[in-house]
């Protein structure tokens, strides 16, 4: 049985890794200069990024070029771990630690936050919320389980709409006075939690089915 939780974590982990790389590229392009503070903008002079406030990030490295290189490398590690190694022992905890490192080397604020949430969800891969068996009916779990692919699709679409979607649109049309950022981030994280919840429901339900079939 394929774990729905693993698919959610790997899919969104890949998207978060790409977003971290994008932060790093912006920092690299600023060159061999020192940041004015630990809080920086990855794309401070790019018109298309104004809707994203220049892509804020933080860094403990006193050089933007080095910060960007480290952000790219750690983002690649983040994506690789989320896609390939997340089911290893302590895989979720390691993803959380990589997320914290990504935060400190210019990977933005969104990708590390997303990584911490995904890492927490990954700790339940292979052992979903067993308490649901006594507290939530099979009918309710079946309903939630049926929703997980759609919740994941909505979540992925939401995050991709922020990047590269808003950047692409912002290259042609001014979005500076748009209210879209009041609605899009809450939508993204609401659908993320829904995707995780419904994936856990799917794994919990189908894990029981697999056990019953194995008993026979």
The one-digit pLDDT tens for each residue of the chain (216 residues) are 689 999 999 999 999 999 999 999 999 999 999 999 999 999 999 988 988 999 999 999 999 999 999 999 999 999 999 999 999 999 999 999 999 999 999 999 999 999 999 999 999 998 766 676 677 788 888 999 999 999 999 999 999 999 899 998 888 887 776 788 889 999 999 999 999 999 999 998 876 444 444 444
What's the Cα-to-Cα distance from 51 to each of 17, 54, 75, 100, 150, rounded to whole Å?
Answer: 21, 8, 23, 25, 27
Q: Residue 94: its pLDDT value, please?
A: 98
pLDDT at 128: 63
Q: What is the pLDDT of residue 205?
A: 85
Query: pLDDT at position 15, please?
Result: 97
What is the structure's pLDDT at 130? 67
Where do runs of H (alpha helix) occur along 30-172?
Answer: 64-80, 91-104, 110-122, 132-135, 138-160, 167-170
Tell me the helix, strand and coil percentages in the chain, rounded to 5: 70, 5, 25
> What is the pLDDT, as a whole number, of residue 211?
45
- The pLDDT score that the predictor gives to residue 181 is 87
Q: What is the pLDDT of residue 129?
A: 67
**Per-residue pLDDT tens over the stretch 25-47:** 999 999 999 999 999 999 999 98
Instruction: Determine the length of the chain.
Output: 216
Give the residue extent of every domain in the chain: 4-215
What pLDDT is recorded for position 159? 96
Scored b (16 or more CB within 10 A) or e, 149-164 reads bebbebbbebbebbbe
Digit-coded pLDDT (tens) for 70-86? 999 999 999 999 999 99
């Amino acid at each position: 049985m394929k774990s729905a939780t693993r698919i959610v974590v790997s899919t969104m982990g890949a998207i978060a890794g790409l977003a971290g790389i994008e932060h790093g590229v912006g920092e690299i392009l600023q060159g061999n200069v020192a940041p004015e503070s630990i809080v920086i903008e990855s794309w401070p002079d790019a018109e298309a990024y104004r809707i994203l406030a220049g892509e804020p990030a933080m860094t403990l490295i006193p050089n933007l070029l080095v910060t960007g290189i480290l952000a790219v490398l750690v983002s690649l590690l983040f994506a690789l771990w989320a896609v390939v190694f997340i089911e290893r022992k302590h895989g979720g905890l390691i993803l959380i630690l990589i997320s914290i490192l990504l935060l400190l080397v210019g990977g933005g604020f969104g990708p590390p936050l997303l990584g911490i949430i995904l890492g927490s969800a990954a700790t339940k891969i292979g052992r979903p919320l067993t308490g649901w068996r006594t507290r939530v009916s099979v009918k309710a779990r079946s309903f939630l389980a049926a929703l997980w692919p759609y919740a994941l699709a909505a979540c992925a679409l939401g995050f991709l709409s922020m990047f590269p979607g808003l950047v692409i649109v912002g290259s042609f049309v001014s979005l500076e006075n748009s209210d879209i950022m009041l609605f899009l981030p809450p939508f993204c994280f609401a659908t993320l939690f829904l995707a995780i919840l419904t994936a856990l429901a799917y794994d919990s339900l189908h894990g029981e089915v697999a056990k019953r079939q194995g008993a026979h």
